[in-house]
Amino acid sequence: MRATIRDVAREADVSIATVSRVLNESGPVKPATRERVLAAAARLRYSPSSAARSLITRQTKTLGVLLPDLYGEFFSELIRGIDRVAREAGYHILVSTSHNQRPEVEAALQAMRGRVDGLIVMAPDRDVDELAALLAKPLPTVLLNQRTVDGGPVNRINIDNEGGARALVEHLVEAGHRRIALIGGPAANLDAEARRRGYRAALEAAGLPVVPELEFHGDFTEAGGHEAAQALLRLEERPTAVFAANDAMAIGALHAFVEAGLTIPADVSLAGFDDIPMARYLRPSLTSVRVPIQELGSRATARLLELLAGEADDEAWDVVLPTELVVRASSGAPRSPKKDAVHV
């Protein structure tokens, strides 16, 4: 049978309150008494339950993490960054998904209430006012890649989606491409919107038209990229380069192009966004926009821990992490007009 705090008190010949003060370091206790309590707890192999400890300290030592999905390398790297900083501070993480559906967001937040000390939330399809309404009892919260409104929470960390997309498309323009397609993300997604703005801004800056038929809808999955690439291949005049708004869709597009007998980048240049670890190991290796994914998670967690410790100031914390263009083998100059006449 598992030893209880009452057993430890009886073994050490002290009150239950004294045992609690010793184990939680929550009050003055004589050194000799402390040693006696600790020795008794060791002999009985007593370990306080997390539920009992949280009732005493009003802390669960757990951080809630709400993400739109868990599939793919982006989210695994993000969780890795969150977990590393949490563990170093003695915290565990409780992860749930929302799939960007309001009922699932509500259910996840309800399940976490009372079980976590603070929240890290990525819900790029929800605005801050809506999230605040869902959090009936406000908890210290840090938002990832989240739109804000006037008067909304100030603890937010984003990545430079628009700047990264613009730099990538500028690279394709400089390589000589004039007909560049976009495989975008979900229409209501904040990241997808920003990457589309960057794509269009780069075209406009180069004096190139924004052609609606070259913008394809995707869903940030390999299957979505594959389907969009198949639609792209049916165009009468194909693009010479394709920018997929994340690496997962770029991988799906790559598979569709290979299936169609095209060679990358000789027949079509291809680029993605996020620079997930797999990107460098593809054949050809994938040109992408590097996002500091682990840093996104670790910085958010560090800020949340500051909020919980009362060490954060009252000023706005609205951080934008820079991105970096990584040019690899999947992008190059378009074929010359003579070679373009030869169809694959």
Q: Which tokens belong to 215?
A: 């913008």
The amino acid sitting at 57 is T
For 206-316, strand residue ranges (E) read 215-217, 241-244, 269-271, 288-290
Same fold, 5-57 and 62-159+293-320: no
What CA–CA distance (Å, rounded) separates 264 from 344?
Answer: 12
What CA–CA distance (Å, rounded) separates 293 from 84?
Answer: 13
CB 305 within 8 A of CB 91: yes
Task: Tell me the sheet residues that pair with 155.
Answer: 317
Q: Where are the domains of the chain?
A: 5-57, 62-159+293-320, 161-291+326-340
Largest CA distance in the chain: 94
Phi, psi of 297 (to 5 degrees): -70, -45
**pTM of the full structure:** 0.78
User: 62-159+293-320, what's its fold?
Assistant: Rossmann fold (3.40.50)
What CATH number labels 5-57? 1.10.260.40
What CATH number labels 161-291+326-340? 3.40.50.2300
Digitized pLDDT (tens) for each residue of the chain, 344 residues in all: 677 888 888 999 988 888 877 877 666 788 889 889 888 888 888 766 554 555 444 678 999 999 988 888 999 999 999 999 999 999 999 999 877 677 777 788 778 878 899 999 987 665 555 665 665 456 888 989 876 555 555 788 999 999 999 999 999 999 999 999 999 998 888 899 999 999 999 999 999 999 999 999 999 999 999 999 999 999 999 999 999 999 999 999 999 999 999 999 999 999 999 999 999 999 999 999 999 999 999 999 999 999 988 887 767 788 999 999 999 999 999 987 544 433 33
